[in-house]
Chains A and B, each alone.
Chain A
Amino acid sequence: MLIDNEFIEAVRRDMLKFAQLQLRDAALAEDAVQDALTAALTSERSFAGRSAFKTWVFGILRNKIVDLIRQNSRTTNISSLSDDEQAMDESFDALFNNSDHWQSNNRPQNWGNPEESLREQRFWEVFEICLNHLPENTARVFMMREFLEFETAEVCSELAISVSNCNVILHRARNGLRRCLEGSWFAPGERRC
């Protein structure tokens, strides 16, 4: 079949990137990817093509990631606020004036046609850097919601946090990403080099 070593290597790289973003642990990510690939390659199933294979092996990987997050959530307290998260909240609050309206120089800007960026490789590099900058627990909740596509209620119950806490964390993550992208990609006011 058309699954050769070169193809497997490419899939493996994409899987590793995906796993590492979410697990933030190189060894864990490596193991999860290896397990998923082994399961896929030793299965008796046949695939209609490379796409079908990749989709399937990513499905296995997602389940592995979810299992690891579950195990991990028993030993970490997701709802406790790290210094980084505290700092993010403070810098968010600083965007507003006393009556909780935007300070004029902090008002969210018009990004034009941001969808065009989705075709640019450089954009994705910036996007990944911004994701990696999110504090660990904030990132975990966000990625469960957006990449593993859990419903918010499921994220909360998997991680044993309340819905309102979940909402707060997702809001923090989105705002962090929004500002990171605005500062580094969409409207880098001071960047001139």
Chain B
Amino acid sequence: MLSCKESTHLLSEALDRPLGTGERIKLEMHLLICNGCRNYRYQMDFLRAACKNFTSRNEAGDDESGKKPTE
């Protein structure tokens, strides 16, 4: 049985490499019964999405951003 701590490592690594079948099964089993780790998984996914959003916000030549002196 996977511990929560081990599962946080797999949930992070899942963002960097495809997990093996064995790893995936153990993880899914653990997530079924563990609310904290399910939240952790959503949080990891959110971090990835936020980082992508951060770079595209920065780099998008949103042609609006040129015209705001907001005050």
Contact = CB atoms under 8 A, between A and B. Distances in A.
Interface string A1-45: 000001100110010011000000000000000000000000000
B6 interface: yes
Interface string B22-58: 0000000000001111011011101111111111011
Chain B interface, >50% SS class: helix
Contacts of A174: 12, 15, 44, 47
**What size tier do the contact residues of chain B reach?**
35 or more
A115 B43 CA distance: 11
Contacts, number: 109
Nearest to A175: B8
Nearest to B40: A108
Interface stretch (A71-79, A95-103, A132-140): A95-103
B16 interface: yes
29 contacts: A10-B65, A10-B66, A17-B58, A18-B55, A50-B61, A50-B63, A96-B3, A96-B4, A100-B4, A100-B5, A101-B3, A102-B37, A107-B35, A107-B36, A108-B36, A110-B39, A118-B49, A127-B50, A146-B51, A147-B54, A151-B16, A152-B16, A167-B16, A170-B12, A170-B13, A170-B15, A171-B12, A171-B13, A175-B8
Interface of B: 3-6, 8-9, 12-13, 15-17, 34-37, 39-40, 42-44, 46-55, 57-63, 65-66
